[in-house]
Amino acid sequence: MKLSPARRILLLLALVFSFLGAFHFKFQRASFSADMRGWAILLLLLLLAFELADRVTMKRDLEIAREIQRWLVPESPPQIPGVEIAFSTRPANTVAGDYYDAFFRDAEQKRLLLVVADVAGKSVPAALLMATFQACLHACARECDGPLPLAERLNQFACTRSLDGRRFTTSFLAELDLEGRSLHYVNSGHNPPVLLRAAGSAERLEPGGLPFGIDPAAKYEPGIARIGPGDLLFVFTDGLVEALNPSDEPYGDERMLEALDFLRGQSAAATIRGLTESVDRFSAGARQYDDITCLAVRLEPGAGSVPAPPQAAPLGQA
């Protein structure tokens, strides 16, 4: 507990009064006696009341921050015929440093941008950097032609606010071409997502480079993958594979891949739900030390070229 200078004086007075205890003073015919321990208790209670008031204010401010943070991420996934999208997040504290998003980069709604990011650190500092990442992402997304130039812009932005690389951000940026069923992506130091094939195989999407915020001149390697009917893309943050059980054993990539294989063929939402339940069973009530965020995209079986979602008619037209 870190006290302000004024409260340190109150604590010091309380300790002094407690040490003095009861004393008697007599001068000629006048006498005076007092029990200073009562004053010590009163000062300690006053100090405790101040600290409790601060904690209540801090908790209220964190709740407001959590509500604001919820506004920065989508409440529900975009509805696209033939495509299932689901996501979930579970912060370790009131506010989190994880970020996820899915939105169209073009007016024709044919290119869907998928984003999962993880700011180094936890709680309020990570949440503030996550908010700046979200603002820069949406400001640059429509200006950049694909994930590669977008990753370079985000890295340059992050380097100006990373405290010499101490506050870096890992990220997976991907653009899903709804007509060509191709996925162009850049992995910036993030846990490699899993592309679960309907045919039974699984691929890890690794091409990319350094996390954002470490080197402003960093170069990134783009990756590309084809997505067929029944295939599922699963993106996650490190809090999932680093979840601990009561024996301090991590959940790990191997268990995650086994769970995904068991859930093969399930919907995007069911896959996330099943994997989250698997982590909960493994953790067995152990404390969660890091934020856990998942995003899943699945091309429905039998889907060919995915049509763009219908757009609203202009005002004044039926």
CA–CA dist 168, 55 (Å, integer):
30
pLDDT at res. 316: 40
- Angle between helices 268-283 and 252-262 in degrees, nearest 10: 140
CA separation, residue 24 to residues 19, 31, 106, 257, 284 (Å): 14, 7, 85, 76, 60
CA separation, residue 252 to residues 140, 237, 239, 282, 307 (Å): 34, 12, 10, 11, 37
> Domains of the chain, with CATH numbers?
5-66 (no CATH), 81-299 (3.60.40.10)
CA–CA dist 61, 55 (Å, integer):
10
Return the H-helix or E-strand segment holding 5: helix 5-20
CA–CA dist 180, 259 (Å, integer):
29
Instruction: Give me the tens of pLDDT residue by residue for the chain, a chain 318 residues long.
Output: 577 777 777 778 777 777 766 666 566 666 666 667 777 788 788 888 877 877 777 777 666 666 666 767 888 899 999 999 999 998 877 666 789 999 998 878 889 999 999 988 766 777 778 888 888 998 898 888 889 999 999 999 998 877 666 789 999 999 999 988 999 999 999 999 999 999 989 999 999 999 999 999 999 999 999 999 999 999 999 999 999 999 999 999 999 999 999 999 999 999 999 999 999 999 998 988 888 999 999 999 875 555 555 554 443 443
pLDDT at res. 256: 96
DSSP state letters, 145-189: SSHHHHHHHHHHHHHTTSTTTTT-EEEEEEEEETTTTEEEEEEEB
Q: Are 260 and 194 in contact (CB under 8 A)?
A: yes
Nearest alpha-carbon partner for 80 in 181, 1, 155, 190: 181
Q: Are 164 and 216 in contact (CB under 8 A)?
A: no
In terms of C-beta density within 10 A (0-12 exposed, 13-18 middle, 19 or more buried), how is residue 297 classed? buried
pLDDT at res. 315: 36
In single-letter form, the type of residue at position 276 comes to T
* Half-sphere exposure (Cβ direction) of 223: Cα atoms closer than 13 Å: 19
